[in-house]
Structure 1
Amino acid sequence: MSSKETVFFTGGAGFIGLHVVPMLLEKDYKVRIFDNMFRGDREAVAALGDDVELIDQDVRYGGSVHAAMKGCSKVIHAAAVSINKSQADPHESMDINMIGNHNVFAAAAEHGVDRLVYCSSASVYGDPERLPMHEDDKLLPITPYCIAKRAGEDLLAYYQRRANLSWVALRFFNVYGPGQKTTAYYTSVINHFVNRIKNGEPPVIDGKGEQSMDFIHVHDIARSVVLALESEQANVPVNVGTGIDTSIADLARILIDAVGADVEPQFNPRDVLVGRRAADTTRAKEVLGFEPTIDVRTGMTELIRGQ
């Protein structure tokens, strides 16, 4: 029998998971990935080695989750349907995100795991009333995805009270990096800009480009997950961002510099709802000992030049 601890990782074959798993292996964990492989990368999982097991199943089936979690001491729950898809098909979104959350949390409570790390989202805030966004701010989730993420945090608190489940909910801001899917709104913006810039065409920005996001590199996201798995403090939501809001206009200029093109952004004058995002990172530092290591200019430049 191996003395290594096993981490149960839902959605572990996806974009973020494939950055987290190697870090877990470095820390001498075994990993049991539980993923329906709808967006998972089977070849990448196979290349991770003998200490990684893949269970091709769906979090909607509570019996499967419960059986597969047996023998695991820690849980990372990342399986979810994306924001865009949740609006296109709210029924499927509720099924996977809400029922899936409950199946994983209930199983973790019953198995008495040491720690559950939940991949939540900064989208639970909705349109923030102030910047930077703090964990104790009002939550106004807008889409079925965001609503399920918020409900997941409430469910964790329930199982903490009922079964002493130890948890950390990580509210990820705008994640980017190698291996990202092009379907998320902001990654499609990045790809659209880069394609135009590489063709010698200017990126076209609606309004003045004042809309902003807090772009956090997937390497730092992965670090935060491992830190949350082992942190002494628990039972709180934690923002994972850089604390810096990068406007769409600034992003376009970073990408132009990364490609090395001689173009200027074009602005399409129209009324745009200016949304802004920036994380208050105080709690991440206090609870997890986490600070981001990759700034947006460095991360985006490496991403573009590595393509």
Structure 2
Amino acid sequence: MININQKLTGKKVLVIGGGGFIGSFVVEELLKYPVEEVVVYDNFVRSSEDNIGKSLRDSRCRIFEFGGDIRDLDILDRAVEGTDYVVHLAAMWLLHCRDFPRTAFDVNIAGTFNVLEACARHSVKRLVYSSSASVYGDAVSVPMGEDHPFNNRNFYGATKISGEAMCRAFYDRFGLNYVGLRYMNVFGPRQDQNAVYSGVVPIMLNKIAAGEAPVINGDGTQAYDFVYVRDVARANVLALVAETSDEFFNVGTGVQTSVAELCDTILKLKESDLQVEFRPYSDDDSRQLVKNRIGDTRKSSELLDFSAEYTLEEGLEELVLWRLEEGIDKK
């Protein structure tokens, strides 16, 4: 087992996208260890300084003062200079990419190239790149191992495939040490609660909070691997200190949960007697629908020493409590 304290003692870590949903939890996780400094690089377009308010009370944590957009080459270069480790989480999300594909290219593909270039130029010891299970598309076989074919059909997944390919190219051409993480369906506090661009979990919670029937598109049998955000943050830290390099890993629970089962669990936690409303998919959604995606987590267990600690229900309980504390829901 790797000694994380020893690996991170006195190290400077730059978290690109550190004010976001996953990024803010990565920052918190890093501050559990004797790092010298954790610097948050973020343009705060889809994120918030509130997410890292607690972390900023630690003298070892600060926001990079000159900006935080990965499209700003000179500012990004200044941020990476002198850094030991970089965690790259900045990206446009799935539905944003669908609606704004040109901007998705500029941010997720060109921006990731900028990050890789800066890391190689400044001889960063290790980069952790946030990819996604979206690269797999719909399952050909379950559970999906890291050798599962890329069956993606949306812009977001395409940008992540490109990012992975560039990581490997920078490794071969410049020796950039990296590990890539393919997240399954991440949920938890600080996730975007906006019904337009949020995930299935907050959408259901928003409906219930409004006293409306939660809606399931299709018959509810579509199944995914729901992983809690604190587990994902821990996976990032383990990837930073792992002995392996030039590898991609699934980050999930390995547990299959249908959307109907997810909804039943949420209704039970909320002590709600609302009845689920089933609706047919639109033609556009049907064409890109992923019906089955469960990750094989054996590789991440063996090489990263990672396995999820939170069950779905435990994660949902924390999320429900957070929504109450934030005033999103009422008791």
Q: Which segment is superposed worse, 283-292 or 297-306?
A: 297-306
Match of 2:82 in 1: 71
1:52 partner letter:
C
**Structure 2 match to 1:17:** 23
Over 3 Å counting, the alpha-carbon distance change for 1:262 and 1:45 in structure 2 is closer
**Structure 2 stretches lacking a partner, 5+ long:** 1-8, 324-331
1:54 aligns with 2:63: yes
Partner of 2:316: 300
Aligned counterpart, 1:81:
92
Corresponding residue SS for 1:129: coil
Residue aligning to 2:140: 129
Q: Which residue of 1 aligns with 2:278?
A: 267
How does the TM-score come out when normalised to structure 2?
Answer: 0.86
Note the alpha carbon deviations across 1:209-251, whole angstroms, 9 max, x for none.
1112211000000000000000011211100011112111101
Does residue 166 of structure 1 match 2:177? yes
TM-fit CA distance, 1:64: 1.9
Counterpart mapping for 1:1-307 below 5 A: 4-29=10-35, 30-47=37-54, 48=56, 49-55=58-64, 56-183=67-194, 187-198=198-209, 201-268=212-279, 275-307=291-323
CA distance in 1, matches of 2:219, 2:82: 54
Task: Render the CA deviation track for 1:256-291: whole Å, top value 9, x for unaligned.
Answer: 110112344343467965611100001110110000
8 A contact 2:135–2:161 mirrored in 1: yes
Deviation at 1:183, TM superposition (A): 4.6
For the residue of structure 1 that corresponds to 2:38, the secondary structure is strand
Q: Deviation of residue 93 (structure 1)?
A: 0.7
Structure 1 partner of 2:6? none
Change (3 A) 1:250 1:289: same
> How far is 1:205 from its partner?
2.4
Alpha-carbon shift at residue 185 of structure 1 (Å): 7.7
- AA aligned opposite 1:118: Y
* 2:329 corresponding residue in structure 1: none
Structure 1 residue 184: deviation in Å?
A: 7.9
Counterpart code for 2:46: R
Q: Which runs of 5+ in 1 are unaligned?
A: none
Aligned length: 305
Query: Could you tell me which amino acid in structure 2 is paired with residue 211 of structure 1?
Result: Q
Deviations 1:10-66 (A, max 9, x none): 111111111111211111221111111112222443542321221222101222211
Equivalents in 1 of 2:279, 2:111: separation in Å?
Answer: 41
**Shift in Å at residue 162 of structure 1?**
1.3
Which secondary structure does the structure 2 equivalent of 1:26 belong to? Answer: coil
TM-score (norm 1): 0.92
8 Å CA contact retained: 2:195, 2:203 = no
Moved more, 271-280 or 206-215: 271-280
* Pair 186,209 (structure 1): closer, same or farther in 2 beyond 3 Å: farther
Residues 241/19 of structure 1: CA separation in 2 closer, same or farther (3 Å cut): same
Instruction: Return the alpha-carbon distance in structure 1 between the equivalents of residues 196 and 18 of structure 2.
Output: 22
Deviation of 1:91 after TM superposition, in Å, equals 1.1
Compute the RMSD of aligned alpha carbons. 2.1
Q: Is the 8 A contact 2:188 2:229 kept in 1?
A: yes
